[in-house]
């Protein structure tokens, strides 16, 4: 029997149900779960659809029609051999290309993560100081609190993720599930808003900065470097370089050194 103040640990997946002992009118307990929906199975569910889609564009076998009346059969055991063969083809492609798109788990994690803890100093979450110029040296301010994803353009959903016309980069910062990496994001993330309450049960829109796919290499430069000059970003014009830096600076994702 747990006493007030006791802490009990359950390994992940353990089914449990609290009960109040006889003679006690009520009891209160708090269940805290960590690292939910982060298993290899969850990762496969997130990554496999994109892998199948990309492979099918180049492998005609995946685009072949299934046998007639297959879906009407009660027992699909005869299809297991074919499906096993197709899964091996997917594994071969994954090993040869080393390309794996997983964005939903990234977005779910980062948009539900609290903004960086800064104590009583919210200044790093408020745009200020020097504006980034072409000769400025910049660096990512909160590397562990931002992710870069490639996702289909909602205005052209039939295009492929590799097509510059049909894909957009999305840079997400922690706290952007309630929009913005600014100091107000912490309060709204913890307390919620009337708008959040009214939309409970509906799919939450993911916010973030969106760029053309041509900006991917430049963002990777910023991500992988301890510091980089704006003029060295891998973009075609100085205007694009400055605009990219300014967009990231406005959302407090980079700082000017």
Question: Does 82 lie in the same domain as 42?
Answer: yes
Among 39, 66, 101, identify where a domain stops.
101
Cβ contact 130:245 at 8 Å: no
- Report the residue count for the chain: 257
Nearest one of 138, 133, 129 to 238, comparing CA atoms: 133
Residue 158 has pLDDT above 90, yes or no: no
Domain that holds residue 233: 104-256
Same domain, 61 and 126: no
Q: Is residue 187 located within the same domain as residue 155?
A: yes
For residue 125, the domain's CATH number is 3.90.930.40
Residues 91, 55 share a domain: yes
Residue that wins the pLDDT comparison between 208 and 168: 208
Mean of per-residue pLDDT scores for the chain: 75
Residues 235, 113 share a domain: yes
For the record, the structure tokens of 107 come out as 């977005």
Same domain, 243 and 179: yes
- pTM for this entry: 0.61
CATH number at residue 18: 1.10.10.1500
Q: List pLDDT tens digits, range 1-15.
A: 788 889 988 887 788
- The pLDDT confidence band at residue 106, using thresholds 50, 70 and 90, is confident
One domain, residues 163 and 243 = yes
Closest CA to 61 of 92, 33, 34, 35: 92
Last residue of a domain, one of 56, 71, 101: 101
Domain shared by 150 and 207, yes or no:
yes
Domain end position, chosen among 101, 135, 157 = 101
- For the chain, the domain total comes to 2
- pLDDT tens digits for 20-41? 888 888 888 888 887 778 888 8
Q: Does residue 149 share a domain with residue 118?
A: yes
Summarised one tens digit per residue, pLDDT across range 63-104 is: 999 888 887 877 777 788 888 999 999 999 999 888 777 678
């Amino acid at each position: 029997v747990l006493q007030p103040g006791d802490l009990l640990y359950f390994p992940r997946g353990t089914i449990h149900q609290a009960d109040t002992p006889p003679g006690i009118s009520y009891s209160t307990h708090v269940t805290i779960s960590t690292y939910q929906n982060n298993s290899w199975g969850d990762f496969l569910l997130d990554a496999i659809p994109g892998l199948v889609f990309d492979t099918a564009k180049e492998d005609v076998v995946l685009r072949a029609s299934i046998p007639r009346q297959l879906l009407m059969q009660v027992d699909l055991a005869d299809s297991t051999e074919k499906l096993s063969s197709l899964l091996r083809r997917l594994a071969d492609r994954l090993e040869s290309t080393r390309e794996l798109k997983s964005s939903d788990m990234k977005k779910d994690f980062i948009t539900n993560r609290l903004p960086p803890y800064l104590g009583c100093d919210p200044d790093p979450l408020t745009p200020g100081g020097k504006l980034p110029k072409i000769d400025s040296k910049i660096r990512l301010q909160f590397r562990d609190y931002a992710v870069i994803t490639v996702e289909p353009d909602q205005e052209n959903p039939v295009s492929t993720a590799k097509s510059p016309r049909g894909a957009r980069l999305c840079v997400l910062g922690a706290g952007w599930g309630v929009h913005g990496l600014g100091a107000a994001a912490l309060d709204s993330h913890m307390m919620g808003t009337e708008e959040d309450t009214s939309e409970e049960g509906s799919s939450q829109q993911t916010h973030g900065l969106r760029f053309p796919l041509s900006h991917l290499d430049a963002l990777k430069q910023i991500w992988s470097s301890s510091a980089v000059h704006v003029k060295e970003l891998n973009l075609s014009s100085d205007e694009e370089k400055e605009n990219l830096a300014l967009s990231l600076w406005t959302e407090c994702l980079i700082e000017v050194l």
